[in-house]
Chains A and B, each alone.
Chain A
Amino acid sequence: MITTEVTLIELASLMKKAAGVSVDPKDLEKSSDSPFGTLGLDSLGLLGIVGELENRYSHPLPPDAERCKTPREFLDLVNNTLKSGA
């Protein structure tokens, strides 16, 4: 059972690493229902984050992961998958 949860802080650091998008975790929390596009993250950037997480947690994510529109939607899906998956 995976106890680690992917947080907004981790997502912010992944956005920076995978897509060069700098966003303060606090701001990300405030805009967690905003579309990724308005945060400056394009679809390839999100795909890169999905790949990073899959490698990091050695766990595949569903195809829907890269289609998520907002940070909250994405983290909910990722964390539900990681919790239930293992």
Chain B
Amino acid sequence: MTTQRTQRPRRAAITGIGVIAPNGLRADAYWKSVREGLVVLDRITREGCEHLPLRIAGEVRAFDAAALIEERFLVQTDRFSHFAMAATVLALDDAGLGHGDPADPYDIGVITAAGSGGGEFGQRELQKLWGQGSRYVGPYQSIAWFYAASTGQISIRGGFKGPCGVVASDEAGGLDSIALAARGVRRGTGAVVVGSAEAPLAPYSMVCQLGYPEISTAEDPGQAYRPFTAGACGFAPAEGGAMLVVEDETRARERGAAVRATVAGHGATFTGASRWERSREGLAHAIRGALDEAGCAPEEIDVVFADALGVPEADRAEALAIADALGKHGTRVPVTAPKTGIGRAYCGAPVLDTAAAVLAMENGQVPPTPNVFDICHDLDLVMSSARPAELQTALVLSRGLMGSNAALVVRRGGDSAR
């Protein structure tokens, strides 16, 4: 038995999902909203943002950080870390691992992806710097606004001393972090808490985003983010994200945890910032890489969670990339983009999509693409309502505004009869 186990390659299983999203503060609430195609995109209500020409986003409302996070962690962290810490507890609970004082702290690592760090915290301290003087800047500024803050705080708070990492990247970094976690598990780490949450809806962060030509400045929540349509006018941003527990499959089974899915393959490429036409080739290459690592034929892909940027040139490139990589199957496979109901949470977006992919496989339903009703690309985009389907394998795609492309193949876990 032991010999067989050491010879068999370790597989990376997803055993826990924690979601803090605009449309749900737990994975089950998130899935219900996603399955129903609920649209929560709305006017931005955060203080100090009202006058900015970016009107529509997915805000995480009703998130009570003080009720979920201990005060000493609250004062030294930004909202993006609050989301990540809250999602981590949900993911650990879901995995049945419990929180704090792990039996073997060196067997659990933490990896997060971040696209912008803690903008709100940073703005507050910089305002003190220029308003009152350097003596008024709090020392936690030195850790709170950095990309690595969430990984550090999650590991300290949970007592996780295994291999840790941070992917400082654009949107696609969310998928890269999951791949990194899976690689860590295959190399011997027992479990990795992995994912991303972002908090880009604060004045300074929003002003930074105004420079993105891809951002939607539409005023109507129903029109702001409609990828693959003739009316596509960019994307609406979102805050929040998801954390997963990625674990050695054997370890999970031995402790009686449900293997919800396995991380089967990943590919990543880079084709340059806002060079969307080129992303066709880059994304197709990433998909082929992910299929290759997964040992998966194009026909085995049962559903595609699209990047769905909402910029005509980028949408065209993605539709063509799917066709290039999957061949004829690319026009037949159901494609969906549930993020049109909540917006794009930067690095958090593809992790939310991965969570949705796992939940879709478990529930045998492809969720719809909210607000999108007529498309101008040769894709079988699922619209209006969820479509029942036997789903064994899902492909999740992501592209970043700075030029990264990534693809992730996840397979159904087998014993996730939820």
- CB < 8 Å: which of B72, B135, B143 contacts A19? B72
Evaluate whether A48 and B136 lie within 8 angstroms (CB atoms) in the complex, with A20-B71, A20-B75, A22-B71 already known.
Answer: no
Interface of A is mostly: helix
CB contact between B72 and one of A20, A51, A54 (< 8 Å): that residue: A20
> Which of B74, B135, B136, B138 touches A18 (beta carbons < 8 Å)?
B138
Contact B72 A55 (CB under 8 A): no
Collect the chain B residues with CB atoms within 8 Å of residue A47's CB.
Answer: 139
Complex Cα gap A21–B140 (Å): 14
A55 B75 Cβ-Cβ under 8 A: no
A19 and B136 contact, Cβ closer than 8 Å, known pairs A44-B142, A44-B143: no
Q: How far is B19's CA from A10's CA once the two chains are assembled, in angstroms? A: 40
A21-B143 Cα distance, complex, nearest whole Å = 18
Interface footprint category on B: 10 to 19
Most chain A Cβ neighbours within 10 Å, of B72, B75, B138, B139: B139
Given A19-B72, A20-B70, A44-B76, check contact A54 B135 (CB 8 Å): yes
Write the nearest CB–CB distance from B288 to chain A, whole angstroms. Answer: 47
A79 to B71, CA, bound (A): 28
The CA-CA distance from A45 to B72 in the complex, in Å, is 9
Of residues 1 through 58 on chain A, the ones whose CB sits less than 8 Å from some CB of chain B are 16, 18-22, 40, 44-45, 47-48, 51, 54-55
Are A20 and B76 closer than 8 Å at their CB atoms?
yes
Is the pair B138, A48 in contact by a Cβ cutoff of 8 Å?
Answer: yes
Decide if A51 touches B138 in the complex (CB within 8 Å).
yes
Binding site of B, secondary structure by majority: helix, strand, loop or mixed? helix
Query: Given the complex of chains A and B, what is the CA–CA distance between A21 and B71 in angstroms?
Result: 7
Could you tell me if A44 and B140 are in contact, using CB atoms closer than 8 angstroms?
yes
**A21–B142 alpha-carbon span in the complex (Å):** 19
Residues on A with beta carbons closer than 8 Å to the beta carbon of B146? none
Query: Who on chain A is nearest to B77 by CB?
Result: A20
* B73 in contact (CB, < 8 A): yes
- Which of A20, A54, A55 has the most chain B CB atoms inside 10 A of its CB? A20
A residues in contact with B138, CB < 8 Å? 18, 48, 51
Which one of B73, B136, B139 contacts A44 once the chains associate, using CB atoms below 8 Å?
B139
Closest chain A residue, CB of each to CB of B137: A51
A48 touches B70 (CB 8 A): no
Specify which chain A residues have a CB less than 8 angstroms from the CB of B142 in the assembled complex.
Answer: 44
Q: Cβ of B76: which chain A residues have Cβ within 8 Å of it?
A: 19-20, 44-45
- In the complex, per-residue mask of B128-144: 1 if CB is within 8 Å of any chain A CB, else 0: 00000001101110110
CB distance from A2 to the nearest CB of B (A): 18
Task: A55 to B74: give the CA distance in the assembly, Å.
Answer: 23
Provide the residues of chain A in CB contact with B72, threshold 8 Å: 19-21, 40, 45
Q: In the complex, what residue of chain B is closest to A15 when comparing beta carbons?
A: B72
A54 to B136, alpha carbons, bound, how many Å? Answer: 10
Q: Which residue of A lies closest to B140 (CB)?
A: A44
Task: Pick from B140, B142, B143 the residue with the most CB of A within 10 Å.
Answer: B140
Q: Which of B70, B72, B73 has its CB near the most chain A CB atoms (within 10 A)? A: B72
Return the CB mask of A38-82 against B: 1 if under 8 Å, else 0. Answer: 001000110110010011000000000000000000000000000
B74 touches A20 (CB 8 A): yes
Pair A20/B73 contact, Cβ less than 8 Å: yes
For A44, what are the chain B residues with a Cβ–Cβ distance below 8 Å? 76, 139-140, 142-143
Cα distance A51–B136 when bound, in Å? 7
15 contacts between A and B (CB under 8 A): A19-B72, A19-B76, A20-B70, A20-B74, A20-B75, A21-B71, A22-B71, A44-B76, A44-B142, A48-B138, A48-B139, A51-B136, A51-B138, A51-B139, A54-B135
Could you list which residues of chain A lie within 8 angstroms of chain B, going by C-beta atoms?
Answer: 16, 18-22, 40, 44-45, 47-48, 51, 54-55
Additional pairs, 20, CB under 8 Å, beyond known A20-B75, A44-B143: A16-B71, A18-B138, A19-B72, A19-B76, A20-B72, A20-B73, A20-B74, A21-B71, A40-B72, A44-B76, A44-B139, A44-B140, A44-B142, A45-B72, A45-B139, A48-B138, A51-B138, A54-B135, A55-B135, A55-B136
